[in-house]
Amino acid sequence: MRGGEERSTGIRKKGSGVRQWLVLDGRGETEVVEAGKHAIMRRTGLPARDLRILDPLLSYPSTLLGRERAIVINLEHIKAIITAHEVLLLNSRDPSVTPFLQELQARILRHHHQTLADANPNPDDAIKILPFEFVALEACLEAACSVLENEAKTLEQEAHPALDKLTSKISTLNLERVRQIKSRLVAITGRVQKVRDELEHLLDDDDDMAEMYLSEKLAEQDDLEKAEDTSSADDVDDHIDSHGTRDSATYSAVTKQLDVEELEMLLEAYFVQIDGTLNKLSTLREYVDDTEDYINIMLDDKQNHLLQMGVMLTTATLVVSAFVVVAGIFGMNIHIELFDDQKAGMTQFLWTVGGSTAGTIFLYVVAIAWCKHKRLLE
């Protein structure tokens, strides 16, 4: 029984999906939290299908989702959940995430100091501060776009010398290097294209962008609760009936337009950057394709030369066969006057051999001229 209980406990622990999350709050302080899927769902208000996107054991493409209380980020090496007050980072132990984590923490600290300074603002120095979720979102987008851009630059620096070397000398080693570069190019292009598609999808849908205004939705909810607490019981019922079913992402037309434009400007900047990276990769892909076409043309030209050489050798073999026929005739055990010393001598023999050789050459020249006339040879 004890062994069965231990096995069942192990199964429950495995199924609970307890993982370490690095939590960065609005003051830039970090905390490592071990939490299961259900605990994260209660903390962020996300459904299980959205958490599945962040599962490191599953291979999901780049995704950027705005939900009721959180933003789900799965961009390259960044797997995070952004709320109105904190960022939950899943793979914080990954060495590639360390630079991003440091940059994110620095941005959150600057945002915290700006927020404190904005509490007692100087009218001359008043500036608009981005919401916490946009500060974290911008850090994620910048990190992902920078990683892809750096990989594209590195690949471009490796590709051009390899392609030029292949153009000058076609060898197995050079062909293998270009094949590996092309495989990497296809993989990076797919990743960049997916990030670009996600940003384009957000920019084309105002409702999806409005969902990402977590701080504003939270403040709106707080105002609604305060209004409910200060109103009478009948007024509360009327208020809930008229506003309780309203979607939290729906604002007044003016406020929504201004807010969406603010996020749209942020997303547009990184859309332009990732689109530039994609164009750079497309240009490199065209260069690879042009090099392949050039290599194929060179190989076809060499193959044509080999075929022409084969035609010339076959023709030479054919005309030499005529000379062999003459030699075969003289090799027969028959009586020929040319072998009779009384009637013929060395002079006649040399004339026979010379005539046969000249005839063979003449036939070869005629055959080659006919092939060129028919454009079978260059």
Question: Domain check: are 143 and 80 in the same one?
Answer: yes
Confidence of residue 194 (pLDDT cuts 50, 70, 90): very high
Q: Is the pLDDT of residue 215 over 80?
A: yes
Whether 285 is covered by a domain: the verdict is yes
Percentage with pLDDT > 90 across the chain = 30
Q: Looking at 51-55, 179-183, 272-276, 356-360, which range is the least confident one?
A: 356-360
Confidence of residue 56 (pLDDT cuts 50, 70, 90): confident
Last residue of a domain, one of 274, 298, 322: 298
Whether 99 is covered by a domain: the verdict is yes
Whether 282 is covered by a domain: the verdict is yes
How is residue 216 written in tokens? Answer: 């504003």
- 283-325 pLDDT, tens per residue? 999 999 999 899 888 888 888 888 888 888 888 888 888 778 7
What SS3 class is residue 72? strand
Average pLDDT for 165-189:
91
Q: Is the pLDDT of residue 232 over 70?
A: no
- 328-344 pLDDT, tens per residue? 777 776 676 666 666 66
Q: Are the CB atoms for 249 and 210 separated by under 8 Å? A: yes
Question: Domain check: are 335 and 204 in the same one?
Answer: no
Strands annotated E in the chain: 19-25, 30-35, 63-66, 71-75, 78-82, 86-89
Q: Are the CB atoms for 87 and 104 separated by under 8 Å? A: yes
What SS3 class is residue 304? helix
Residue 343 to residues 340, 346, 348, 356, Cα–Cα distance (Å):
6, 11, 10, 21
Give the N- to C-terminal CA distance of the chain in Å, as an integer. 90
Task: Report the mean per-residue pLDDT for the chain.
Answer: 80
Q: Is the pLDDT of residue 164 over 60?
A: yes
Overall domain count for the chain: 2
Question: Domain check: are 46 and 172 in the same one?
Answer: yes
Question: Domain check: are 66 and 147 in the same one?
Answer: yes
Whether 234 is covered by a domain: the verdict is no
What SS3 class is residue 1? coil
Question: Domain check: are 278 and 365 in the same one?
Answer: no
Question: Domain check: are 201 and 324 in the same one?
Answer: no
Residue 247 confidence (pLDDT):
44
Question: Domain check: are 22 and 65 in the same one?
Answer: yes
Question: Domain check: are 22 and 52 in the same one?
Answer: yes
The one-letter code for the residue type at 317 is T
Whether 55 is covered by a domain: the verdict is yes
Length of the chain: 378
Q: Are the CB atoms for 51 and 65 separated by under 8 Å? A: no
Last residue of a domain, one of 298, 329, 347: 298
Q: Are the CB atoms for 34 and 18 separated by under 8 Å? A: yes
DSSP states of 77-101 as a string? TEEEEE-SSEEEES-TTSGGGHHHH
Domain that holds residue 369: 313-374
How is residue 271 written in tokens? Answer: 């859309």
Question: Domain check: are 111 and 174 in the same one?
Answer: yes
Whether 369 is covered by a domain: the verdict is yes
Whether 206 is covered by a domain: the verdict is yes
Question: Domain check: are 101 and 209 in the same one?
Answer: yes
Whether 244 is covered by a domain: the verdict is no
Question: Domain check: are 262 and 368 in the same one?
Answer: no
- 85-139 pLDDT, tens per residue? 999 998 888 888 889 999 999 999 998 888 887 666 565 555 678 889 999 999 9
Question: Domain check: are 294 and 183 in the same one?
Answer: yes
H or E stretch including 369? Answer: helix 346-373
Contact residues for 308 (Cβ-Cβ < 8 A; gap 6+): 377, 378
In angstroms, the CA 53 to CA 62 distance is 9
- 262-284 pLDDT, tens per residue? 888 999 999 999 999 999 999 99
Cα dihedral: 201, 207, 209, 214 (round 10): -140
Identify the CATH number of the domain in which residue 25 sits: 1.20.58.340
Last residue of a domain, one of 298, 328, 350: 298
What φ, ψ does residue 65 adopt, rounded to 5°? -120, 140
